[in-house]
């Protein structure tokens, strides 16, 4: 069902803008608007307007936070929060409830977290809209709306910016029919996209790859879904998959010690790719030691831990070139032979009518889009020896530096050198 087709709003320049079209819940559950006519009347158009405004401004996240008699709206654009105004409490409630209805969620359930999604279209572009409602004090709900432009989906390792050295290492570590290649990062840091990038780095025509997780929302080829039989636990599912000569198994994110122990036990029989929540690669290794409670087993079963941070990329239309100071280059670790770096435009010292107009491409922000910076800790003999001693994250990071492994900061400097981002942005991200 396409909702609100033909509806329009008037923007600040008095131009008619086509509202986003909601095209049905991702879970296939049809929204019964007739049975919820009052809710649809109160919430549908405001919900479409707030999503339309966000998509028009390139925001990928809308947050509606109840604040007493009102609700504060904020938008995330390339990972930076911007205020989006306030809504009356009742209007915020109507928007929350209609978005839950359209996502195939239970609108009467307001005491537990729910998550769903909507297929949508805006300006002839398909989007996937993820909706998450979370109870807060006072019986209200926080609403998060996240959008993904399906035409701009990053799929291949090359599109994701995996350096060739990293792709080669992933292929080596997944080609031996044993060991774990893990991806980690904080929530919503891009770790799932990176995990799929790792999966696509493997030649699926050479190796037999099975997936225990749902891959329908991502474009993958020659990956065989493997369903658990009714009554089977995870270990029994592993046994059946290994019996059909799987080379590599792609797993759901690992979130607890019990699952981690089952997975590690199978890492000497098949290559495994999965992800966990952790601050960075060093913290991810320490988390495994905490779950498994056997550092020697972790050092033997783990092959590679990969993490990433997202950094804003400079707008190609308005970025400003400058000649860097040699002392600055030496201080940050860039080659002194580098002649040009780039930054966002600086405001003129004395504004005049001859100043350039605001950049339309980036909305005069100076940045548009984001790129990933990667770090990769490989289980070399020295790293295995260290991990077996149950080290701290700082000790793991120190050994990684000694071994010359790829770090987030080093990869960020690569992007600075290539003119894709600025030193100021790298400094901001490394402090966060």
Residue 77 lies in a domain: yes
Residue 335 lies in a domain: no
What pLDDT sits at residue 364? 87
Is the pLDDT at 63 greater than 60? The verdict is yes
Q: Are residues 12 and 144 in the same domain?
A: yes
CB-based burial label for 196 (10 Å; 0-12, 13-18, 19+): buried
Task: Report angle CA 337, 343, 345 to the nearest 5 degrees.
Answer: 140
Mean pLDDT of 214-228: 86
Q: Are residues 36 and 179 in the same domain?
A: no
The CATH number for 70's domain is 3.30.450.90
d(CA 87, CA 103): 21
The CATH number for 218's domain is 3.40.50.300
Summary mean pLDDT of the chain: 91
Residue 338 lies in a domain: no
* Interacting residues of 406 by C-beta distance below 8 A, sequence separation 6+: 163, 165, 166, 374, 375, 376
Q: Are residues 75 and 193 in the same domain?
A: no
Residue 319 lies in a domain: no
Q: Are residues 34 and 131 in the same domain?
A: yes
Q: Are residues 219 and 283 in the same domain?
A: yes
Is the pLDDT at 201 greater than 50? The verdict is yes
- Residue that has been written with the tokens 């793991």 in this structure: 396
Residue ending a domain, among 115, 136, 151, is 151
Is the pLDDT at 300 greater than 90? The verdict is yes
Mean pLDDT of 354-359: 76
Q: For residue 288, what pLDDT band results from cuts at 50, 70 and 90?
A: very high
d(CA 86, CA 139): 19
Q: Are residues 421 and 306 in the same domain?
A: yes
What pLDDT sits at residue 34? 93
By C-alpha distance, which of 283, 306, 309 is closest to 429?
309
Order of all β-strands in the sheet with 302-314: 224-225, 209-211, 248-250, 271-277, 180-185, 302-314, 367-378
Mean pLDDT of 116-137: 95
Is the pLDDT at 14 greater than 70? The verdict is no
Residue ending a domain, among 136, 151, 166, is 151
Is the pLDDT at 6 greater than 70? The verdict is no
Residue 356 lies in a domain: no
d(CA 203, CA 223): 10
Q: Are residues 275 and 410 in the same domain?
A: yes
What pLDDT sits at residue 10? 44
Q: Are residues 142 and 79 in the same domain?
A: yes
Q: Which domain holds residue 265?
A: 157-313+343-348+361-431
Q: Which long-range contacts (CB under 8 A, 24 or more apart) does 330-338 make?
A: 332/413, 332/416, 332/423, 333/410, 333/413, 334/413, 334/416, 334/417, 335/417, 338/417
Residue 328 lies in a domain: no
- Tell me how many domains the chain contains: 2
Mean pLDDT of 71-87: 94
What pLDDT sits at residue 347? 80
pTM beyond cutoff 0.75? yes
Contact 268, 352 (CB under 8 A): no
Q: Are residues 135 and 201 in the same domain?
A: no
Residue ending a domain, among 105, 123, 151, is 151
Q: Are residues 62 and 163 in the same domain?
A: no
Q: Are residues 161 and 83 in the same domain?
A: no
Residue 112 lies in a domain: yes
Is the pLDDT at 2 greater than 80? The verdict is no
Tell me the pLDDT tens digit for each residue of 315-340. 999 999 999 988 889 888 898 889 99
Q: Are residues 64 and 114 in the same domain?
A: yes
Tell me the pLDDT tens digit for each residue of 334-345. 988 899 999 999
Residue 263 lies in a domain: yes
Tell me the pLDDT tens digit for each residue of 379-391. 999 999 999 999 9
Mean pLDDT of 118-137: 95
Report the range of poorest mean pLDDT among 34-38, 307-311, 400-404, 428-432: 428-432
């Amino acid at each position: 069902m396409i909702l609100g087709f033909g509806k329009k709003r008037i923007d600040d320049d008095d131009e008619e803008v086509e509202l986003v079209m909601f095209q049905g819940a991702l879970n296939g559950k049809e929204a019964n608007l007739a049975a919820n006519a009052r809710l649809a009347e109160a919430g549908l158009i405001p919900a479409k307007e707030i999503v339309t405004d966000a998509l028009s401004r390139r925001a990928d996240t809308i947050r509606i936070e109840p604040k007493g008699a009102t609700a504060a709206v904020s938008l995330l654009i390339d990972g930076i929060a911007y205020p989006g105004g306030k809504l009356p409490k009742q209007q915020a409630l109507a928007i929350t409830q209609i978005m839950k209805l359209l996502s195939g969620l239970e609108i009467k359930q307001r005491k537990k977290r729910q998550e769903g999604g909507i297929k949508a279209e805006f300006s002839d572009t398909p989007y996937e809209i993820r909706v998450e409602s979370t109870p807060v004090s006072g019986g209200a709900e926080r609403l998060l709306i996240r959008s993904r432009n399906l035409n701009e989906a990053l799929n291949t390792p090359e599109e994701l910016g995996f350096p060739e050295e990293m792709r080669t290492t992933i292929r080596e570590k997944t080609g031996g029919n044993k060991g774990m290649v893990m991806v980690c990062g904080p929530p919503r840091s891009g770790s799932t996209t990176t995990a799929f990038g790792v999966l696509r780095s493997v030649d699926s025509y050479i190796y037999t790859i099975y997936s225990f997780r749902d891959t329908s929302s991502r474009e993958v080829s020659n990956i065989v879904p493997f369903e658990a039989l009714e009554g089977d636990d995870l270990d029994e599912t592993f046994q059946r998959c290994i019996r059909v000569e799987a080379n590599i198994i792609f797993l759901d994110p690992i979130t607890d010690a019990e699952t981690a122990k089952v997975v590690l036990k199978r890492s000497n029989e098949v290559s495994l790719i999965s992800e966990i929540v952790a601050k960075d690669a060093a913290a991810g290794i320490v988390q495994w030691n905490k779950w498994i409670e056997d550092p020697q087993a972790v050092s033997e079963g783990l092959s590679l831990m990969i993490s990433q941070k997202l950094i804003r990329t400079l707008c190609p239309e308005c970025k400003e070139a400058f000649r860097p100071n040699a002392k600055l280059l030496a201080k940050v670790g860039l080659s002194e032979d580098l002649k040009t770096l780039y930054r966002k435009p600086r405001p003129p010292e004395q504004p005049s009518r001859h100043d350039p107009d605001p950049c339309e491409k980036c909305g005069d922000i100076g940045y548009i889009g984001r790129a990933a910076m990667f770090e990769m800790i490989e289980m070399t003999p020295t790293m295995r020896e260290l991990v077996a001693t149950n080290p701290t994250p700082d000790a793991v990071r120190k050994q990684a530096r000694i071994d010359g492994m790829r770090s987030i900061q080093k990869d960020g400097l690569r992007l600075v050198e290539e003119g894709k981002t600025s030193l100021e942005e790298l400094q901001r991200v490394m402090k966060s």
